[in-house]
Chains A and B, each alone.
Chain A
Amino acid sequence: MLLLHTLRCVGSTTLARLAEVAGRPEPDVESELIDLAVAGLVTFEPGPFGGWGITTAGRAVHATWIAEELAAAGTEAAVAEALDRFLPLNAELLDLCEAWQLRPEARVLTLLGALDRRAEPVCADLTGALPRFGRYRVRLAEALARVRAGETRYVTDDMASYHVIWFQLHEDLLLTLGIPR
């Protein structure tokens, strides 16, 4: 079910990308996807913009699952508090992304590093509330490491960029708390 949730947060994607996001071996992920497809919860679309995606039925099952998950964990207040701390950071990250896209200067990357450090305790508290959030910390750190190694497309321009991962974290928080966009 966690894989269904990952797919819901990421949007339609390839097997390789989904395995990377989930941090699991491709064959395991593929086997689970096939089971989910047999159940009618996910589907594979061919074509240049195709890939594995969640079905309408899958979204309904997912919505039930995620509400039950939070209720079982009993940590709704902690997640809601983390969202309150996340939103100002989100506005700041979007400012930084815009600044980077208009003028890609080193100081934007310095500020991104500083923002990442301030986001860390929020991610840590989220992970305490629901351990599956721990994966974002790992992925954001990977993207930032790539940026620091000179692969600057990992700021905004790659599907595994810092911004895209952050965008998925934002979506995950809203989904987890059942807040419509």
Chain B
Amino acid sequence: MRWIHSLASGQPVEVLGGKAHGLAVLRRLGLAVPPAFVVGADACRAYLRDGRLPGGLAEEVAAAVAALPAGEVSVRSGASVSMPGMMTTVLGLPAHPVGPILDAVAEVFASWHTPRARTYRELHDIPHDLGTAVTIQAMVYGDRDPRSGTGVAFTRDPTTGAPVPFGDVLYGRRGDAVVSGREPTVPLGDLAVREPRVWAGLTRAMALVEGHYRDACYLEFTYESGDLWFLQVRPGRFTGAAAVVVAADLADEGVVARSDALLRVAPEDLRRVARITGPADVLARGLGACPGVATGRVATSAGAAVRMAAAGPVVLVRPETSPLDLRGMAAAAGIVTARGGPASHAAVVARAMGRPAVVGASGLVVSAGSVRAGDRVIPEGAVVTIDGTSGDVALGEPPVTASLADAHVHRLLGWADDVSGDTSDRPEPERLRAAHAVLRQ
């Protein structure tokens, strides 16, 4: 086999790509991964050079597909560096005949050259000739029966860094539904009650992957008729207070050295940002698009926001935004949209105006004069609080603080001063930078 590799091949991430490399790690840890094989990134480079799939690849793919269990496969891109959402994924392809699979591989390879992917690489210093690997994997079905489902999980809370599992699950659905954010999800912990055996398998896997990566991790999983399968793993890449808390906790637990903990925190992570803390009646969660907390009365139109803002702070809640909402956004203290991601017009405008914002809060249904969250109806004028870091939209005025991780920051910066040998009174980022300078020598 020249072009394709098994997950057990021991090939490096440069060949397998990040996604398949993670699958290989999961497999090595003894966790269940649907059968798969990988078309290496060198085949992509050959395709990009010659404009066609390399000779011999078709035969190798046919042989490898024949070794997979009968049924459908997924065909996914996976470069050695993360390029989220930039390339093609094809789900639910019949494995026989092999022609459509080869077409899908060529389609994924060709998607390397879309202008958007090219721009993304320019922004992130990724070489244009790197190419992507392709993972071809037997499908598992979170929509098989009532004892099936799919979810995403962080091993620790990505907004606070607290050592508790965090994530979302969708019962009776496939993985693309939960990642798309189009359907309202259930908090991950609910699985402990509904599927105790799946939950036990998941928490065991969390401990194993944290042990391997020596970091908080992100997992994608599906369970089919009660059987748990893992589809992706990567380090959590936490930022802000969560990065500080996880780094300090891991050093305290002896999992990483203090010097490693210091290098995992960036000076920007020390910035004080207002956050919701403690008990909050969370109506919905979206993506934080502009950090900060805003409390105000719900307005469901730009006109209402402008009128109500005269009497006090307003949170503008819209399905998504059009230019007609611009004045409402300017008048509002905070902005929520039910649809859209961190790169949406609403998110760009909110950041430009410096308004805390939550986008893609898919659990909210906005109509004229009210907002529905599940079976609750929030009338215009009700007070809500939004957290533009975590993406939480909460009813009322929960406690808010700008010093979420003070004890951890204090501890970490003590280690930083030990490294730099400088205990003078300086701003926090400078204390960390001084330690980084010594550690990177």
Contact = CB atoms under 8 A, between A and B. Distances in A.
Interface of A: 8-13, 45, 47-51, 53, 88-89, 91-92, 94-99, 101, 107-108, 111, 114-115, 118, 156-157, 159, 161, 163-164, 167-168, 170-171, 181
Interface string B286-318: 000000000000000010001001100000000
User: Which 8 A/B pairs are nearest by Cβ-Cβ distance?
Assistant: A94-B343, A49-B331, A92-B116, A11-B323, A11-B324, A97-B348, A157-B352, A98-B343
Contact of B114 (A48, A88, A168): A88
Nearest to A50: B306
Contact of B349 (A88, A99, A167): A167
B123 interface: yes
A27 B328 CA distance: 27
Interface string B109-148: 0000011100110110000000000000000000000000
A53 B328 CA distance: 12
Contacts of A157: 352
A49 B310 CA distance: 10
B304 to A, nearest CB: 12
B323 A96 contact: no
A11 B301 CA distance: 12
A94 B348 contact: yes
Contacts of B306: 45, 47, 49-50
Given A88-B116, A94-B344, A94-B345, A111 B323 contact: no
A10 B323 contact: yes
A91 B322 contact: no
A48 B57 CA distance: 65
Given A95-B343, A157-B352, A11 B327 contact: yes
Contacts of A95: 116, 119-120, 123, 343
B330 interface: yes
B325 interface: yes
B119 A115 contact: yes
B326 interface: yes
B352 A161 contact: yes
Interface residues of B, number: 31
B327 A156 contact: no
B348 A98 contact: yes
Nearest to B340: A94
B342 interface: yes
14 contacts: A11-B323, A11-B324, A12-B326, A47-B306, A88-B115, A92-B116, A95-B120, A107-B123, A108-B123, A111-B119, A114-B119, A156-B351, A167-B345, A171-B323
Nearest to A172: B323
A88 B344 CA distance: 13
B343 A11 contact: no
Nearest to B306: A49
B354 to A, nearest CB: 9
Nearest to B351: A101
B310 A98 contact: no
B327 A49 contact: yes
Contacts of A171: 322-323
Interface in B339-389: 342-345, 347-349, 351-352
Given A92-B116, A118-B115, A159-B326, A12 B302 contact: yes
Contacts of B324: 8, 11-12
B268 to A, nearest CB: 10
A41 to B, nearest CB: 15
Contacts of A12: 302, 324, 326-327
B320 interface: yes
Contact of B122 (A9, A107, A167, A168): A107
A163 B398 CA distance: 34
Contacts of A156: 348-349, 351-352
A97 B327 contact: no
Nearest to A95: B343
Contacts of B114: 88
A167 B327 contact: no
Contacts of A98: 342-343, 347-348
Given A98-B348, A163-B352, 16 more contacts: A12-B324, A47-B306, A47-B310, A49-B328, A89-B115, A91-B116, A92-B115, A92-B116, A92-B119, A94-B343, A94-B345, A94-B348, A95-B343, A101-B352, A111-B119, A161-B352
B21 to A, nearest CB: 25
A69 to B, nearest CB: 19
Given A94-B348, A118-B115, A157-B352, A164 B122 contact: no
B309 A49 contact: yes
Nearest to A170: B345
Nearest to B124: A99
Contacts of A9: 323
